[in-house]
Amino acid sequence: MDLVFFASGAFGLPTLERLARARTITAVITQPDRKAGRGAKLTPTPIGAWTAEHLPDVPLLKPERIIEPGVIEQVRAFPASAWVVIAYGQKLPPELLSDRFAINLHASLLPRWRGAAPINWAILEGDSETGNSVITLADRMDAGLILGQSRRPIEPSATTGGLHDLLAADGPDLVEQVLSDHTSTSLSPIVQDESLATHARKLSKGDAWVDFTQPAQACRNRIHGLNPWPGVVVECAGEPLKLLRAELGDPDPESTGMPGEILDAQEGLIACAQGEPLRLLEVQPSGKRAMPWGDFARGRSLTPGARLIARSAPSC
């Protein structure tokens, strides 16, 4: 089977690597190089960089706007039995998709968490399970027919970064199965239940808050759901501190405090709502490496009663 592959982010890399070994990639379409880093150097997408290194003979297109007529003609000219789309970053117009079998790998159990940040929101909202969906492309975002799904539990220790990598690694098997079913005409498309649809809006730096007046589990979910970006930043002893990983502490009726108060400086226990403490496991001081909370605390004079000052949710 010949394929055209559309992707930009690292989430699509494991699938591209598998498909490049098992099938014929006739073209790779990705986002243009963008300035990145302190030097503002033009940097290719992860997909663009991998393709240039490992598939030097495969046409690599980086259109600024996929909707341009000349681009549409160029892409449609590549021979392919199927198009595979994974976190490409631009909506593919109907005139491009006309009469093509095109599938999209999305990192959620659709119809839950349609949108730009499905992995983040699954953790932020405390979901116990997530997975991948392969769907057809539709006019509305992530609303196509479901062609296949894979499932994975969300462990309490899971961060968005770690879960991203696990789901990315699950992608190749699912995509291969859907392509094989398409070849054998054994696909059984399922219409999404619109009443169950939820939206995973894109996150911003303005989301980097935590509210210690919420239960400890909600605070842990927020810390993990925003790791690695945009992160949860608090003020500790007058300095910014990024919270990276946490777990639930054991409730102690005799050891309560104001929300955000440090109950045990060495153990990293922080007071939250309902008498439930949060135990900080890993943090990152401004301009320094990530480190265990214990290493951070030993280098500072933190005492019970001190507080982590955190931004809470915006009022609107």
Domain ends where: 166, 184, 200? 200
Residue 132 · residue 75 · CB < 8 Å: no
pLDDT at 115: 97
Q: How far apart are CA 260 and CA 142, in angstroms?
A: 38
88 with 223, same domain: the answer is no
91 in a structural domain = yes
Q: Which of 66, 73, 60 is nearest to 25 (CA)?
A: 60
228 with 153, same domain: the answer is no
144 with 53, same domain: the answer is yes
Residue 210 belongs to what domain range? 205-310
Q: Which amino acid is located at 81 in the chain?
A: S
| Tokens (6 digits) for 232 | 């949860």
Q: How far apart are CA 235 and CA 242, in angstroms?
A: 9
Q: What is the mean pLDDT of residues 16-34?
A: 98
50 with 90, same domain: the answer is yes
CATH code of the domain containing 232: 3.10.25.10
316 has pLDDT over 50: no
Q: How far apart are CA 248 and CA 162, in angstroms?
A: 19
181-212 as b/e: b if 16+ CB within 10 A: ebeeeebeeeebeeeebeebeebeeebbbbbb
Total number of domains constituting the chain: 2
98 in a structural domain = yes
196 with 256, same domain: the answer is no
The per-residue pLDDT of the chain, averaged, comes to: 95
Place 315 in a pLDDT band, splitting at 50, 70 and 90. low
182 has pLDDT over 60: yes
215 has pLDDT over 50: yes
192 with 44, same domain: the answer is yes
275 with 135, same domain: the answer is no
Q: What is the mean pLDDT of residues 139-166?
A: 97
173 in a structural domain = yes
pLDDT at 37: 80
pLDDT at 247: 98
Q: Which of 58, 34, 59, 56 is nearest to 45 (CA)?
A: 34
Domain ends where: 162, 178, 200? 200
194 with 212, same domain: the answer is no
315 in a structural domain = no
19 in a structural domain = yes
Residue that wins the pLDDT comparison between 87 and 304 = 87
168 with 221, same domain: the answer is no
Domain ends where: 150, 167, 200? 200
189 with 90, same domain: the answer is yes
107 with 181, same domain: the answer is yes
Distance, C-alpha 254 to centroid of its chain: 39
94 in a structural domain = yes
Q: Which of 48, 53, 64 is nearest to 6 (CA)?
A: 48
18 with 163, same domain: the answer is yes
pLDDT digits (tens, 9 = 90+) for 55-102: 999 999 999 999 999 999 999 999 999 999 999 999 999 999 999 999
Q: How far apart are CA 95 and CA 185, in angstroms?
A: 25
| Tokens (6 digits) for 61 | 């297109």
| Tokens (6 digits) for 149 | 């799904």
Q: Which amino acid is located at 213 in the chain?
A: T
pLDDT digits (tens, 9 = 90+) for 137-149: 999 999 999 999 9
pLDDT at 244: 98
68-85 as b/e: b if 16+ CB within 10 A: eeebbeebbebebbbbbb
Q: How far apart are CA 196 and CA 180, in angstroms?
A: 29
In this structure, how many other beta carbons lie within 10 angstroms of the beta carbon of residue 133?
Answer: 26
Residue 35: partners with Cβ closer than 8 Å, 6 or more residues away: 41, 42, 43
CATH code of the domain containing 31: 3.40.50.170
Residue 8 · residue 45 · CB < 8 Å: yes
